[in-house]
Amino acid sequence: MTDLLDQLRTAVGDGHILTDEADMAAYVVDWTGVHAGRARAVVRPGSTDEVAAVLAACHAAGVPVVPQGGNTGLVGGGVPDSSGSSVVLSLGRMRTIRDVDPVAGTITVDAGVVLADVQVAAEEADRLFPMSLGSEGSCTIGGNLATNAGGTAVLRYGMTRELVLGLEVVLPDGRVWDGMRALRKDNTGYSLKDLFVGSEGTLGVITGAVLRLFPATPRHATAWVAVPSVEAAVSLLGTAQQHAGAHLATFEIANRQALDLVLAHLPGASDPLAEPSDWYVLVELAGAASDDGLDDALEAILTSAVDDGLATDAAVAGSPAQRSSLWALREGISEAQKVEGATLKHDVTLPIASLASWASSMGPILEEVLPGVRPVTYGHVGDGNLHYNLSAPVGGDDDLRAAAHDLSTAIYDSVAAGHGSISAEHGLGRTKAAAGASYKSAVEVDLMRAVKAALDPRGLMNPGVLLPRLG
Amino acid sequence: MTDLLDQLRTAVGDGHILTDEADMAAYVVDWTGVHAGRARAVVRPGSTDEVAAVLAACHAAGVPVVPQGGNTGLVGGGVPDSSGSSVVLSLGRMRTIRDVDPVAGTITVDAGVVLADVQVAAEEADRLFPMSLGSEGSCTIGGNLATNAGGTAVLRYGMTRELVLGLEVVLPDGRVWDGMRALRKDNTGYSLKDLFVGSEGTLGVITGAVLRLFPATPRHATAWVAVPSVEAAVSLLGTAQQHAGAHLATFEIANRQALDLVLAHLPGASDPLAEPSDWYVLVELAGAASDDGLDDALEAILTSAVDDGLATDAAVAGSPAQRSSLWALREGISEAQKVEGATLKHDVTLPIASLASWASSMGPILEEVLPGVRPVTYGHVGDGNLHYNLSAPVGGDDDLRAAAHDLSTAIYDSVAAGHGSISAEHGLGRTKAAAGASYKSAVEVDLMRAVKAALDPRGLMNPGVLLPRLG
């Protein structure tokens, strides 16, 4: 395998290949700390051609490749297993924004551009790139594409998939598919881009994309609303849609446990309301500079909500700074929960109509499996998507780890029975590859394996991710 | 093959299999009349199980299957070739609307439900199913899904693909994939539904779907606007978006030749404006019952357009009847052109910024190929999509047929050079399978063939459609 390393060195340049354990450490452990693998090498190509050379070399040598963006994934999809046989291919050096076309409403990017940088480039052209998530300061657009990322703007703009017009992908054997179209409509064959989006690096490596831009929404009306229950939150969503229509941009939920963790661990966070509530909703309307009815519409939503018993109190942001601090309460949950201690993450969708009853049914079931377990629940209620995360009982991190499989199984069984999904937006990665397959029909798993075998016949792209290994 | 016919008879019942040439006639010739094929038999299953039995029997016998919906396609994708070896599988008996859930915003349908019936079922539940196209009174939702149909609502709601939550598909060997999810978010593996949507019956047979519903838009403000050029129309689109935002529902273009054909051939049609214009735009804003600013917004758009020289005159619909008659001018073009005589259809997309220069460049090129040829141009300018159809020179139907290949090649070469698509919404079918492949890279054709081979290894599903036959 010295040959392979030499080839990789030639492909990316001496300074962009890491083989020392210490140098590789940041690339082989994921953000959650759950997945700590090993790699033969980490290569950091600087161009599509270099990615192609890396894949061709690994393909010839029969060596598995693990593509990696910002390494912010939550299901171990971007880090290698413990065998040490894989090459990690980091896209982090490919950071060029190739083009911004505000008239056509497109932005063309390298895969390694950080999501926040895509947002900023759009803003500088007086346009909006709507994708927004907690890790936007470090995740890369390539990772967002590979996982079909969700986030807080899905309600209005859809998942990552719906923001993609064209893709550039290096195939497992090193050939490059140039699918960089900038067209809204193109019915000339199978939708290959939709196959690569969400494939978690198991079919090829996305190196570039043409993405949609939208009219800028510089005006906002934002409130942090105390609601008595998930059921009330779902009803409030209807009220908000009725009053705000297409201006409704955000509708996020969090329970009191989630807020408590943020107040405890996030410097400067404070509860915007006087009385505690079991549940909260962050609601935001967004519009163009000329949309001067947003504040009135928000007021109408809140008045109607209080009248109907759907809300008990609300804090309306009176300035950009206040808006940021309300958002920080929502965006800080994941980080705060990490500081608190051991966490078991779940990212589920249910039909919105059954979301409330599902959420209230889970508490007692989990309490039976692990007394004292603390559900820290938040997420995108407008999409039927809850991050149903479990913090350990106080002082019981080891207990949580020991009960992890039983707790997750109880949750997934219940989600499956309710016709939901066990991964709304995080993907399956390594963590859920086996669970994902176990809740699917044999026909569906066969179809997925047929697609995988067709595009990656040697099984070298991110093996063990998305689909469990055979045998 | 008597065995196969017996098996098919058993599968669907004696009364639902046709083998007589005269009985089969309506199923083997397409709407355009260009494709007149032959079939071994036409089978009309009444359920998903019956479709499965038909496919299993054909698979075992090695007999090709051509799935067919309302037989309204324009590229020969739903009719058999002339060999007489295929079985046509018509979904027309599967017309059950399985469920309408206005709260969840979903409708669950059999593939054979006529598009207009889906629209009506949504309306009866005070919701909107936005897909709308000229053939909506006879095309089926299964055909819309198989071709990823476009239409006049793409600007606001996206292509068919974006309206689909779940699918039920019978695979080439007769197994059934139950992907009937009703979730907005589900990141558990490859997006199989996106593979089947737009696959034109070449990977399996769509038998059912869960589709998205939207809030009803009972209020409309509609105008037929005379514009001096395609360039002015594109600029007017920007004006309309600025004033109407998300309320802008329709932005369609037609040239004077298109209107002339409608006035000549559509009973009761009349020109709503006093003076003729080279180009027209049909613009419509749509909103909820509470949206009472639509008329003002339309007025603002038209005033601004006249001030900026983007429009010379406009007729605003003052009643539902007037609205219908404006829409009839747009929807009647395809039919009127058929009455006029031989037509050569093209359905192209270009980046919107280059649409105007492309359209004005084509006239002289085509005039050189066939003097007197008449471009009848209309389409979805908001999506960059023109139906650039050619009517024969007066009295020159045979000349048009003789020059068809050269004319289409001139158009497609020019579209390809402009980074456009040779099929925006009609698909490739039989008509454009070879052209589609010839304008793609070898890598892309390889990928498409790999997908086809993976899902339909015996090549029995709609052979010769979407991809050209090998060898």
| CB-CB neighbors (< 8 A) of B426 in chain A | 187
- Give the model confidence (pLDDT) of B350-362 as tens digits: 998 899 999 989 9
Which CATH number applies to A219-333?
3.30.70.2190
Topology of the domain covering B341-417: Alpha-Beta Plaits (3.30.70)
Comparing CB atoms, the residue among B188, B351, B454 nearest residue A436 is: B188
Bridging pattern class, strands A41-43 and A17-18: antiparallel
Whole-angstrom distance, CA of residue A155 vs CA of residue A382: 6
Whole-angstrom distance, CA of residue A468 vs CA of residue A286: 42
Residue B470 pLDDT exceeds 90: no
- Give the model confidence (pLDDT) of A85-122 as tens digits: 999 999 999 999 999 999 889 999 999 999 999 999 99
Q: What is the dihedral of CA A426, A432, A434, A440, to 10 degrees?
A: -50
- Give the model confidence (pLDDT) of B106-152 as tens digits: 999 999 999 999 999 999 999 999 999 989 999 999 999 999 999 99
Best probe of the A interface among B126, B180, B185, by most A CBs < 10 A, is B185
Whole-angstrom distance, CA of residue B353 vs CA of residue B221: 27
3-state DSSP call for residue B459?
coil
Amino acid at position A76, single letter: G
Q: Measure in Å the smallest separation between the Cα of A424 and chain B Cα atoms.
A: 4
* Helix (H), strand (E), coil (C) string for A198-222: CCCCCCCEEEEEEEECEECCCEEEE
**Residue A251's beta-bridge partner residues?**
A283
Q: Name the more confident of A91 and B238.
A: A91
**Which residue reads 């054709």 in tokens?**
B445
- Give the model confidence (pLDDT) of B400-446 as tens digits: 999 999 999 999 999 999 999 999 999 999 999 999 999 999 999 99
Nearest to A249 by CA among A240, A257, A239: A240
Comparing CB atoms, the residue among B185, B351, B450 nearest residue A424 is: B185
Whole-angstrom distance, CA of residue A416 vs CA of residue A414: 5
Q: Which residue in chain B is spatially nearest to A355 when comparing CA positions? A: B104
Q: Which residue in chain B is spatially nearest to A421 when comparing CA positions? A: B186
Q: Which two tokens stand for residue B152?
A: 């006049």
Q: Name the more confident of B470 and A143.
A: A143
Angle at B405 between CA B402 and CA B410, to 5 degrees: 125
Q: What does the pLDDT read at residue B59?
A: 98
Q: Which two tokens stand for residue B276?
A: 């003729």
Whole-angstrom distance, CA of residue A255 vs CA of residue B82: 65
- Give the model confidence (pLDDT) of B54-96 as tens digits: 999 999 999 999 999 999 999 999 999 999 999 999 999 999 9
Q: What does the pLDDT read at residue A288?
A: 86
Q: Measure in Å the smallest separation between the Cα of A445 and chain B Cα atoms.
A: 9
List of long-range contacts for A294-302, beta carbons under 8 Å, 24+ apart: A294/A219, A294/A220, A294/A221, A294/A244, A294/A247, A295/A221, A297/A221, A297/A243, A297/A244, A297/A247, A298/A221, A298/A222, A298/A223, A298/A244, A300/A243, A301/A236, A301/A239, A301/A240, A301/A243, A301/A244, A302/A223, A302/A225
- Give the model confidence (pLDDT) of B179-221 as tens digits: 999 999 999 999 999 999 999 999 999 999 999 999 999 999 9
Whole-angstrom distance, CA of residue B440 vs CA of residue A133: 35
Domain spanning B2-90, CATH class: alpha beta
Q: Which residue in chain B is spatially nearest to A434 when comparing CA positions? A: B188
Nearest to A373 by CA among A364, A382, A381: A364
Residue B2 pLDDT exceeds 80: no
- Give the model confidence (pLDDT) of B22-65 as tens digits: 999 999 999 888 889 999 999 999 999 999 999 999 999 999 99
Put simply, the answer to whether A447 touches B177 (Cβ < 8 Å) is yes
Q: Measure in Å the smallest separation between the Cα of A323 and chain B Cα atoms.
A: 24
| Domain boundaries of chain B, sorted by first residue | 2-90, 97-215, 219-333, 341-417
Q: Which two tokens stand for residue B147?
A: 């071709």
| CB-CB neighbors (< 8 A) of B192 in chain A | 444, 447-448, 451
Q: What does the pLDDT read at residue B290?
A: 80
Q: Measure in Å the smallest separation between the Cα of B16 and chain A Cα atoms.
A: 28
Put simply, the answer to whether B184 touches A104 (Cβ < 8 Å) is no
Q: What does the pLDDT read at residue B81?
A: 96
Whole-angstrom distance, CA of residue A425 vs CA of residue A153: 12
Q: Give the DSSP letter of residue B374.
A: E
Put simply, the answer to whether B188 touches A150 (Cβ < 8 Å) is no
Q: Which residue in chain A is spatially nearest to B166 when comparing CA positions? A: A419
Comparing CB atoms, the residue among A181, A441, A453 nearest residue B454 is: A453
Which CATH number applies to B97-215?
3.30.465.10
Fold equal for B219-333 and B341-417:
yes
Sites in chain A below the pLDDT cut of 50: none
**Residue A387's beta-bridge partner residues?**
A347, A378
Best probe of the A interface among B188, B207, B345, B346, by most A CBs < 10 A, is B188
Amino acid at position B409, single letter: T
Q: Measure in Å the smallest separation between the Cα of B168 and chain A Cα atoms.
A: 11
A407: Cβ–Cβ under 8 A, 6 or more apart, which residues?
A344, A366, A369, A370, A373, A390, A400
A233, A281 contact by CB (below 8 A): yes
Q: Measure in Å the smallest separation between the Cα of B291 and chain A Cα atoms.
A: 10
Put simply, the answer to whether A195 touches B195 (Cβ < 8 Å) is yes
Q: Which residue in chain A is spatially nearest to B447 when comparing CA positions? A: A455
Comparing CB atoms, the residue among B103, B186, B422 nearest residue A421 is: B186
Put simply, the answer to whether A246 touches B246 (Cβ < 8 Å) is yes
Whole-angstrom distance, CA of residue B287 vs CA of residue B220: 6
Q: Which residue in chain B is spatially nearest to A145 when comparing CA positions? A: B187
Residue B288 pLDDT exceeds 80: yes
Rounded to 10°, the helix A333-340/A256-265 angle is: 70
Whole-angstrom distance, CA of residue A379 vs CA of residue A332: 12
Angle at A310 between CA A304 and CA A315, to 5 degrees: 75
Q: What does the pLDDT read at residue A128?
A: 97
Which sign, positive or negative, has the C-alpha torsion A322, A323, A329, A331?
negative
Comparing CB atoms, the residue among B104, B154, B183 nearest residue A185 is: B154
Whole-angstrom distance, CA of residue A348 vs CA of residue A415: 7
Angstrom distances, CA of residue A245 to CA of A140, A293, B217: 31, 12, 11
Residue B1 pLDDT exceeds 70: no
- The arithmetic mean of pLDDT across residues B236-254, rounded, is 92
Which sign, positive or negative, has the C-alpha torsion A253, A257, A259, A262?
negative
Q: Measure in Å the smallest separation between the Cα of A142 and chain B Cα atoms.
A: 16
Q: What does the pLDDT read at residue B161?
A: 97
Q: What does the pLDDT read at residue A1?
A: 59
**Residue B344's beta-bridge partner residues?**
B390
